[in-house]
Amino acid sequence: MRDFLIRHQTPALLVAGLVVVTVLGVLTGNETVQVTLTEMFIRLVVVVGLWVFIGNSGIISFGHIGFMGVGAYAAAWASAEPGFKQIMLSGLPVFLQENQYPFAFAIIGATLLPALVALLLGIALMRLAGTAASIATFAVLMIVNSVYANWDSVTAGSSSIIGIPTVVGPWVAVGFAAGAVVTAYLFQVSRLGLMLRASRDDEVAARASAVEVKRMRLVAFVLSAAIAGAGGGLYAQFLGILTIDPFYLGLTFITLAMLVVGGMSSLSGAVAGVFAVTIIVELLRIAERGVSLGALDLGLPLGSQEIGLGVLMALILIFRPNGLSNGRELVWPGAAPAAKAPAGRTLSPELTGDAAPSP
Amino acid sequence: MSETPAFIEPPSLGVDRALTNAATLAAEGLSVRFSGLLAISDVTIRQARHEILGLIGPNGAGKTTLVNCLTGFQKPSEGRVMLGDEDTAGWSAARFRAHGIARTFQAGRLFKDMTVAENVEVTGVGLGLGLKAAREHAMAMLGWIGLADKARAKAGTLAYTDQRRLGIARALVLSPAFILLDEPAAGMSDAECEELMTLVSAIPKTFTSGVLLIEHNMRVVMGISHRVQVLDGGKTLAEGLPAEIQKHEAVMAAYLGMEA
**For residue B207, what is the domain's CATH number?**
3.40.50.300
CA-based nearest distance B107→chain A, Å: 6
- A192, closest residue in chain B (CA to CA): B125
| Facing residue for A355 by CB, picked from B71, B105, B156 | B156
Tell me whether residues B111 and A197 touch, CB distance under 8 A. yes
- B109, closest residue in chain A (CA to CA): A205
CA separation for the pair A280, A313 (Å, rounded): 11
What pLDDT shows up at residue A335? 56
Tell me whether residues A352 and B125 touch, CB distance under 8 A. no
Among candidate residues B51, B49, B46, the one with its CA nearest the CA of residue B30 = B46
Q: How long a stretch of residues is chain B?
A: 260
Q: Is A168 an interface residue toward B (CB < 8 Å)?
A: no
Domains of chain A, by residue range, sit at 2-246
CB interface of B with A, residues 138-177, below 8 Å: 152-154, 156-160, 163, 170-171, 173
**Is residue B96 in a domain?**
yes
Dihedral class, residue B62 (left if φ above 0, else alpha if ψ from -120 to 50, else beta):
left
Among candidate residues B44, B65, B61, B40, the one with its CA nearest the CA of residue B53 = B44
Tell me whether residues B122 and A209 touch, CB distance under 8 A. yes
Count up the domains in chain B and report the number: 1
How far out from the chain centre does Cα B165 lie?
Answer: 12
**Is residue B175 in a domain?**
yes
Tell me whether residues B118 and A343 touch, CB distance under 8 A. no
**Is residue B139 in a domain?**
no
Tell me whether residues A211 and B92 touch, CB distance under 8 A. no
CA-based nearest distance A201→chain B, Å: 5
Contact criterion met (CB below 8 Å) for A62 and A250 = no
| Facing residue for B127 by CB, picked from A210, A339, A358 | A210
CA separation for the pair A122, A114 (Å, rounded): 11
- Give me the amino acid identity at B116: V
- Count of other CB atoms within 10 angstroms of residue A84: 17
- State whether residue B68 is helix, strand or coil: helix
Beta bridge partner(s), residue A119 = none
Provide the angle, in degrees to the nearest 10, between the axes of the packed helices A9-28 and A267-289.
20
CA separation for the pair A167, A38 (Å, rounded): 11
Q: Which one of A7, A200, A202, A209 would you mutate to disrupt binding with B, by most B Cβ within 10 Å of its Cβ?
A: A209
- State whether residue B230 is helix, strand or coil: strand
Residue B94: its chain A contacts at CB < 8 A? 207, 209-213
Rg over CA atoms, chain B: 18
DSSP secondary structure string, A285-332?
Answer: HHHHH-EEETTEEE-PPTTHHHHHHHHHHHHHHHH-TTTTTTTPPP--
* DSSP H/E element including A245: none
Q: Which residues of chain A have pLDDT under 70?
A: 334-359
| Facing residue for A356 by CB, picked from B97, B103, B163 | B163
CA separation for the pair A170, A35 (Å, rounded): 7
| Facing residue for B131 by CB, picked from A191, A197, A201 | A191
Q: What is the DSSP letter of B151?
A: T
Q: Is B249 an interface residue toward A (CB < 8 Å)?
A: no
CA-based nearest distance B8→chain A, Å: 25
- Count of other CB atoms within 10 angstroms of residue B29: 12
* DSSP H/E element including A98: helix A94-98
Residue A126: its chain B contacts at CB < 8 A? none
**C-alpha triplet B139, B126, B200: angle, nearest 5°:** 55
Q: Residue A135: CA atoms inside 13 Å, Cβ hemisphere, count?
A: 5
Contact criterion met (CB below 8 Å) for B102 and B56 = no
What pLDDT shows up at residue A304? 84
Question: Considering Cα of A39, then A42, then A48, then A53, what sign does the dihedral take?
Answer: negative
What pLDDT shows up at residue A140? 96
A/B interface, count of CB pairs below 8 Å? 115
Contact criterion met (CB below 8 Å) for A113 and A92 = no
**Is residue B78 in a domain?**
yes
Contact criterion met (CB below 8 Å) for A153 and A90 = yes
What lies within 8 Å, CB to CB, of B128 at 6+ separation is: B98
Tell me whether residues B126 and A210 touch, CB distance under 8 A. yes
**C-alpha triplet A11, A342, A315: angle, nearest 5°:** 65
Instruction: Give the β-pairing of B178-182 and B210-214.
Output: parallel
Q: Is B106 an interface residue toward A (CB < 8 Å)?
A: yes
What domain range includes position B100? 48-110+160-259
- Give me the amino acid identity at A44: L
Q: Is B103 an interface residue toward A (CB < 8 Å)?
A: yes
Q: Which one of B59, B113, B141, B163 would you mutate to disrupt binding with A, by most A Cβ within 10 Å of its Cβ?
A: B113
What pLDDT shows up at residue A289? 84
Tell me whether residues B122 and A327 touch, CB distance under 8 A. no
Tell me whether residues A207 and B109 touch, CB distance under 8 A. no
Among candidate residues B22, B24, B32, the one with its CA nearest the CA of residue B64 = B32
Phi and psi angles of residue B33, each rounded to the nearest 5 degrees, phi first: -115, 125
Dihedral class, residue A290 (left if φ above 0, else alpha if ψ from -120 to 50, else beta):
left
Contact criterion met (CB below 8 Å) for A180 and A230 = yes
- B123, closest residue in chain A (CA to CA): A209
CA separation for the pair B35, B214 (Å, rounded): 25
Instruction: Please tell me chain A's helix, strand, coil percentages from 3-state DSSP, rounded to the nearest 5.
Output: 70, 0, 25
DSSP secondary structure string, A107-122?
Answer: HHHHHHHHHHHHHHHH
CA separation for the pair A77, B197 (Å, rounded): 68
Q: What is the pLDDT of residues A168-224, one digit of tens each?
A: 999 999 999 999 999 999 999 999 999 999 999 999 999 999 999 999 999 999 999
Residue B153: its chain A contacts at CB < 8 A? 343, 346
CA separation for the pair A224, A97 (Å, rounded): 29
Contact criterion met (CB below 8 Å) for A98 and A63 = no
Q: Is B65 an interface residue toward A (CB < 8 Å)?
A: no
- Tens place of pLDDT for every residue, chain B, 260 residues? 333 334 434 454 444 456 778 889 999 999 999 988 899 999 999 999 999 999 999 888 899 999 999 999 999 999 999 999 999 999 999 999 999 999 999 988 999 999 999 999 999 999 999 999 999 999 999 999 999 999 999 999 999 999 999 999 999 999 999 999 999 999 899 999 999 999 999 999 999 999 999 998 999 999 999 999 999 989 999 999 999 998 888 888 876 555 44
- B124, closest residue in chain A (CA to CA): A209
Residue B98: its chain A contacts at CB < 8 A? 210
Q: Is A346 an interface residue toward B (CB < 8 Å)?
A: yes
- Count of other CB atoms within 10 angstroms of residue B3: 6
